Amino acid sequence: MKIYEFAQAPNCRRVRMFLAEKGIKMEYVHVDIGKGENLAEDYRRRDPNAKVPVLELDDGSHIAESVAIQRYFEEMHPEPPLFGRDAKEKALVEMWTRRGDFNMMFNVGMCFQHTTGFFSDRMRVFPEFGEESGKKAVQFFSVLDQHLEENRYLVGDYFSVADIGMLCSLDFGKAVKLRPDPAQYPNLVRWREELNARPSASA
């Protein structure tokens, strides 16, 4: 079993941090997405979307998408549970995971792709759309800060995969200078610092 990944990518960090919380050791294979190694035909046999990370199982089959990989290991190694412990908690973890993907990762990612030109050899860039996406990420800082005023984690007192996803998406914002100001977003920064102090955060 091994994971193909590009360690700097935020979705790869999501999986690394999750596995560290579970205490699962993993073999990693470096794929240089900057050089486009993921676009090669043999890589597309692992994932037709040519993304990282991809989990290769011992039977040779593949699971792509960070949260799909996390969910596989949640099922195989249930302790500690990171996707929720009852119906409502599982739904709230899902809700915050998706908010993290659509309101944070998406906006930060679009800002990165459309303003830095990192992938401009393989996509059309719209710099103004990228800047607008960055503004939307910052608008979401307010939603998060207000929520975290009354909640230690995204789902109350329960640390979950939603926190991991949101943290990795938020921290990726540094690449485009999107960082919450502690004076303006004290609860968000408190939450971020608490999470980044976990050993898994630097896995």
Q: Going by DSSP bridges, is the β-strand pair 62-64/54-56 parallel, antiparallel, or unpaired? A: antiparallel
Task: Give least dist CB 98 to its own copies, A.
Answer: 4
Which C-beta is closer to its own copies: that of 17 or that of 161? 161
For its own copies, the binding residue among 33, 52, 63, 104 (CB under 8 A) is 63
Alpha-carbon gap, residue 157 to 49, rounded angstroms: 36
Tell whether residue 95 is a contact of its own copies (CB under 8 A): yes
Q: How many residues bind its own copies (CB under 8 A)?
A: 35
Cβ-based neighbours of 129, under 8 Å, separated by 6 or more: 110, 114
Beta bridge partners of 89: none
Q: State the DSSP code for 183.
A: T
Window contacting its own copies (CB under 8 A); options: 26-34, 121-129, 175-183, 189-197: 121-129
Pairing verdict, β 54-56 and 2-5: antiparallel
Residue keyed to tokens 């949640």: 74
| Residue 56 touching its own copies (CB under 8 A) | no
| Residue 86 in the binding site for its own copies (CB under 8 A) | yes
Q: Is position 119 an interface residue for its own copies (rule: CB under 8 A)?
A: no
Q: Does 64 bind its own copies (CB under 8 A)?
A: yes
Choice from 28, 81, 106, 194 touching its own copies (CB under 8 A): 106
DSSP string, 21-81: HHT---EEEE--TTTTGGGSHHHHTT-TT--S-EEE-TTS-EEESHHHHHHHHHHHS-SSP
- Is 99 a residue that touches its own copies (CB under 8 A)? yes
For 139, the token pair is 């608008």
Question: What does the alpha-carbon distance between residue 105 and residue 49 come to, in Å, rounded to a whole number?
Answer: 18
Contact mark string toward its own copies, 132..171, x via CB under 8 A: x----------x--xx------------------------
Judged by the rule CB under 8 A, the positions of this chain that interact with its own copies are 48-49, 57, 61, 63-65, 67-69, 71-72, 75-76, 86-88, 90-92, 94-95, 98-99, 101, 103, 106, 124, 126, 128-129, 132, 143, 146-147
